[in-house]
């Protein structure tokens, strides 16, 4: 599981950048438009990454800050929202504005987002209404601390892995809260403990 990449920007395209690490390996990373706009060829960048595994490809999605990364993971927990749609949302709206739209149940704003029709917008409201109530304003501190264990790399990697196994954020977050001091554990231990909890519910 690739949780982050640090490297030099070797190439910039409309939807992705090519990050070349010191080892000489280049990674194609799909990013929100606003984040690509902050990069330039030749500069060094560190991005939080999510690896999406499909039958025909393995794709990397990257973000320059934790706030966008956290919202990306939250969106992936919504039925019918995949990585490409989630990235499109993050290219069109800032996290705080998205949270405000959900909190105010603003279907008009949500249906203007790329790839979001009325039914998907209604699912966003239904599945996220209880998850974004306290998010907004100082999103980096509020959301990361309460929902993702302070944004630790191990917790992020564990959440990514569990999402890849088919579990939603609505299943993952309650399970994490049942694991004592989960924010201090390694990603491997978090995953094992979470899977035990899921197995016990069957």
Going residue by residue through the chain (202 aa), what tens digit of pLDDT does each one get? Answer: 688 999 999 999 999 999 999 999 999 999 999 999 999 999 999 999 999 988 888 899 999 998 999 999 999 999 889 999 999 999 999 998 999 889 888 999 999 999 999 999 999 999 998 887 655 544 333 333 333 333 467 777 887 788 778 787 667 777 887 888 877 788 889 899 999 998 887 5
Q: Model pTM greater than 0.85?
A: no
Q: 59, 72 in Cβ contact below 8 A?
A: no
Domain ranges within the chain, ordered by starting residue: 4-63, 67-137, 148-201
CATH architecture classification, 67-137: Orthogonal Bundle (1.10)
DSSP string, 93-150: S-HHHHHHHHHTT-HHHHTTSTT--HHHHHHHHHHHTTTSTT-SSSHHHHHHHHHSGG
Distance CA 171, CA 151 (A): 18
CATH class held by domain 4-63 = mainly beta
């Amino acid at each position: 599981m690739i949780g982050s990449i640090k490297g030099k920007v070797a190439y910039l395209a409309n939807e992705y950048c090519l990050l070349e690490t010191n080892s000489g390996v280049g990674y194609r990373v799909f990013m929100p438009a606003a984040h690509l706009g902050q990069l330039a060829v030749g500069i060094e960048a560190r991005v939080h990454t999510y690896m999406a595994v499909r039958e025909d490809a393995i794709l990397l999605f990257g973000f320059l800050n934790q706030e966008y990364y956290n919202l990306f993971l939250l969106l992936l927990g919504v039925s019918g929202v995949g990585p490409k749609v989630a990235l499109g949302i993050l290219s069109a709206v800032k996290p705080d504005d998205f949270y405000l739209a959900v909190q105010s149940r603003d279907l008009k704003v949500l249906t203007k987002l790329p790839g979001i029709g009325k039914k998907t917008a209604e699912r966003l409201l239904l599945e996220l209404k209880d998850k974004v109530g306290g998010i907004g304003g100082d999103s980096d501190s509020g959301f990361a601390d309460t929902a993702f264990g302070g944004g630790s790399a191990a917790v992020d990697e564990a959440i990514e892995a569990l999402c890849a196994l088919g579990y939603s954020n609505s299943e993952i977050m309650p399970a994490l809260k049942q694991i004592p001091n989960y924010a201090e554990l390694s990603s491997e231990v978090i995953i094992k403990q979470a899977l035990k909890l899921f197995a016990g519910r069957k």
